[in-house]
Structure 1
Amino acid sequence: MAPTTRSKTRTTRSTVSQDTTTSTWTNSTRRKDLSSSNTTPTYQVNLSLPPEHRYDEICADYKAFLGGIMPIYDDLLQDFTRRPRIIDFLAKSLLRRVHSSEESKEIHGISKATGVPVHLVVAFNTFLDLFSGCSSGGVRVADAGSAGGPYRNGIVHFRGLDWAMDPLRQLIICVEYIRDGQIVARAITYAGYIGILTGVRAGLSISLNYRVRFASSPASLFAHRLHQALVLLGFRPSISSILRQILLSPSPPPSLASLAETLSSRSTTPCYLIFCTPASVLILEKDLKSAVVKTADDFLAVTNHDTRLEGLTPEEWRAMLQREGGAVHDVVLDSIERKECISHLWKKEGKGLKVKDVVRQLQVQPVQNECTHYSCVMDPSVDGGGLLWVRSYDDPVEMAQEEPVHPLDL
């Protein structure tokens, strides 16, 4: 499966959706009637409860929806292996836990509450971070932070998550994590998913973007496949589990320098890791056991390609096509287009930006596209982590059309 399976129709950058599913809210606890499509439902996950029962309320509300992950699992197996029936047979015996004992207990609790087999819940929680396409970054705005706070001219974290798996749209929720009666972090996630793809706590916000594994990767294909197998079998944590540990740790958030040092050499699926503090942005172009580190204190963005690819000549594009194949090329081309669009925000507005400007740019095509599941703006200067704006998409966005762009015309 391509991580961003947008149609190959190119889109105009001036198009802004007029759909009314936007939810703008502060950090009060809210719940949504599941028959309504106007807001993203918000749940509290109490970390002081036994792990097996932390997700009982979510499971009760989404039991019927979670029963529908079987087709998603089947699709993933078709894309992940040439022998899906054999892998499915083995999975029922082998996929019983994840690396963390605490998270394994949560998964067994979800399985018991929903009736979804344990191996499917394990697969859902280990496959999900392998295939999504995204736009993420941080930008300095004039109205960050709470009124009168120290970070009125601080960094906010913008995020759009794209995936071609439409059944997951009905599982999108917001979560407030509670410890000892206090909100310690917030996240946007999927019901039944316990890792972190998008989250924020006081002092730090986090998002994860898919990264293509290139043939030129310093780690071999065998090393990557071995890592994936070790994650699936619970011998290594998934990257979303690692991010969860960072987000939900009772200790103060680590510095960006510390994150860059510790995560660069840690074994993870290739990805882009985006971290924001109220003062700075960090992006790691992460390979299996290495990373390219980028930082900024005003604006930094990433989609689903390495920055070095933006300067390729036509000859270098052709060489990449021969080396990597057309599927990788399509992903990179689409990713560059989305990054150009989101970067236009900073180029145009610069230091005069406000949160509303960031929100608007997240709704400009192709940053917003037919694969977009949700978009949000997070503020790490807010106690408990600030979700300033969240929008989820129950249905694919209708795209405006223009003439297709030939790859070598870029």
Structure 2
Amino acid sequence: TEECRTEMYPPAGPTFRSAVSWYTVDLDSPPSDRWTALITDKKNDLLVVIKAIRDFANALVPSGRLVELVDISLPLMVETLPKPYGEEIKAIAAVAGLPLGEVVLYNIFYEVFTVCTSVVAEDDEGNLFHARNLDFGIFMGWDVKNKSWIISEKLKPLVINLNFKRNNQTLFKSTNFAGYVGLLTGVKPNLFTLTMNERFNLDGGFVGILEWIFGKRDGMWMGFLMRSVLENANSYKEAQTLLVQTKLLAPAYFILGGNQTGQGCIITRSRLHSIDVLETLLQRPCMM
């Protein structure tokens, strides 16, 4: 087991970059324009992460055929993605000067590889707490010197706070990675909080991706569902219903918090069904 660490916050040390910057995403602007300012600022950092993923793919398949497949086949997939996500991904690739297929892969990485942790809890005064980390990295190994996941080190400069606006009003907020148009974490002010976590299953994301490629497209990509729920649900219960009932491409855990005492749950999902909804009780945290 890993050693218990203390005094890790506020962040410091060799892997600390800087305070996380805020950017605005104007949902009233065309999809092709929404991410231009952010990607212009973060272009070089995004190139580093995409190169790391490319290098890992070449290490897995030294012939280079895997990267070739990504560069040739995944651009075709972008036209099948639900609006406005495909248009946004194409714009990001253009601004960053990156191969479209590699930006598509970056945007479907939940269905390929992730690990992360969330907790929702309530204290005895009725205050709700919802927290998460983004402990990605197993698939690319551990940096012994800096005591961190290698891919996490490369992702840190891409961490940004997003303020999604419509009609010049904040609709929801997120902490996310630059270049990723779906969401992993979000807050709809005064209504609910939402995070997602990996759930491993044999009937997993690769199965969902293959079904999508071969034309079965009735499931929802994880990050896109998260963003859709934050954009469209107007209450804890509405969000819960969407997360329980929507077909997915990959199994998942959703951790949802509300704005009233007792409003907190873990939703355990297979690709097609809800397996369990574990509601919080006073003084009992739900963690995943």
Q: Does TM-score exceed 0.5, indicating one fold?
A: yes
Q: Does the Cα contact within 8 Å between 1:129 and 1:210 map onto a contact in 2?
A: no
Q: Decide whether aligned partners of structure 1 residues 124 and 293 sit closer, same or farther in structure 2, where only a CA change above 3 A counts.
A: same
Matched residue, 1:11: 2
* Aligned-partner SS, 2:17: coil
Q: How many percent identity over aligned positions?
A: 21
Mapping for residues 184-263 of structure 1, pairs under 5 Å: 184-202=171-189, 203-214=191-202, 219=203, 225-231=206-212, 235=217, 236-249=219-232, 252-253=234-235, 255=237, 258-259=241-242, 261-263=244-246
Matched residue, 2:140: none
Q: Does the Cα contact within 8 Å between 1:99 and 1:231 map onto a contact in 2?
A: no
Matched residue, 1:301: 286
Q: Does the Cα contact within 8 Å between 1:206 and 1:276 map onto a contact in 2?
A: yes
Work out which structure has the larger RCO, using CA pairs closer than 8 Å and 6 or more positions apart in sequence. Answer: 1
Q: Which amino acid aligns with 2:6?
A: V
* Aligned-partner SS, 2:245: helix
Q: Decide whether aligned partners of structure 1 residues 124 and 89 sit closer, same or farther in structure 2, where only a CA change above 3 A counts.
A: closer
Mapping for residues 55-94 of structure 1, pairs under 5 Å: 55-68=35-48, 69-75=50-56, 84-85=66-67, 87-88=69-70, 90-91=72-73, 93-94=75-76
Q: Decide whether aligned partners of structure 1 residues 196 and 238 sit closer, same or farther in structure 2, where only a CA change above 3 A counts.
A: same
Q: TM-score, normalization: structure 2?
A: 0.79
Q: Does the Cα contact within 8 Å between 2:220 and 2:248 map onto a contact in 1?
A: no
Q: How many angstroms apart in 2 are the aligned matches of 1:77 and 1:175? A: 33
Q: Does 1:39 align with 2:29?
A: no
Q: Which amino acid aligns with 2:200?
A: V
Q: Does the Cα contact within 8 Å between 2:71 and 2:99 map onto a contact in 1?
A: no
Q: Which amino acid aligns with 1:133?
A: V
Matched residue, 2:99: 117
Matched residue, 2:248: 267
* Aligned-partner SS, 1:110: helix
Deviation at 1:132, TM superposition (A): 2.2
Q: Does the Cα contact within 8 Å between 1:213 and 1:270 map onto a contact in 2?
A: yes
Q: Decide whether aligned partners of structure 1 residues 41 and 231 sit closer, same or farther in structure 2, where only a CA change above 3 A counts.
A: farther
Mapping for residues 345-360 of structure 1, pairs under 5 Å: none
Q: How many angstroms apart in 2 are the aligned matches of 1:269 and 1:60? A: 31
* Aligned-partner SS, 1:99: coil
* Aligned-partner SS, 1:101: coil
Q: How many angstroms apart in 1 are the aligned matches of 2:40 and 2:68? A: 32
Q: How many pairs does the alignment contain?
A: 261
Mapping for residues 111-150 of structure 1, pairs under 5 Å: 111-128=93-110, 130-141=112-123
Aligned equivalent of 2:130, options 127, 145, 157: 157
Q: How many angstroms apart in 1 are the aligned matches of 2:214 and 2:25? A: 26
Q: Which amino acid aligns with 2:278?
A: K
Deviation at 1:84, TM superposition (A): 1.8
Matched residue, 2:142: none
Q: Does the Cα contact within 8 Å between 1:126 and 1:232 map onto a contact in 2?
A: no
Q: Decide whether aligned partners of structure 1 residues 47 and 282 sit closer, same or farther in structure 2, where only a CA change above 3 A counts.
A: same
Deviation at 1:37, TM superposition (A): 3.4
Q: Which amino acid aligns with 1:58?
A: L
Matched residue, 1:183: 170
Q: Does 1:105 align with 2:92?
A: no
Q: TM-score, normalization: structure 1?
A: 0.57
Q: Which amino acid aligns with 2:225?
A: I
Q: Does the Cα contact within 8 Å between 2:236 and 2:257 map onto a contact in 1?
A: no
Comparing 152-161 and 186-195, the one that deviates more:
152-161
Q: Which amino acid aligns with 2:100?
A: V
Comparing 199-208 and 279-288, the one that deviates more:
279-288
* Aligned-partner SS, 1:205: strand
* Aligned-partner SS, 2:7: coil
Q: How many angstroms apart in 1 are the aligned matches of 2:59 and 2:79? A: 22
* Aligned-partner SS, 2:84: helix
Q: Does the Cα contact within 8 Å between 1:95 and 1:118 map onto a contact in 2?
A: no
Q: Does the Cα contact within 8 Å between 1:99 and 1:237 map onto a contact in 2?
A: no
Q: Which amino acid aligns with 1:140?
A: E
Structure 1: runs of 5+ lacking an equivalent = 1-9, 23-35, 143-151, 304-410
Deviation at 1:244, TM superposition (A): 0.6
Q: Decide whether aligned partners of structure 1 residues 126 and 76 sit closer, same or farther in structure 2, where only a CA change above 3 A counts.
A: farther
Q: How many angstroms apart in 1 are the aligned matches of 2:105 and 2:214? A: 10
Q: Which amino acid aligns with 1:302?
A: M
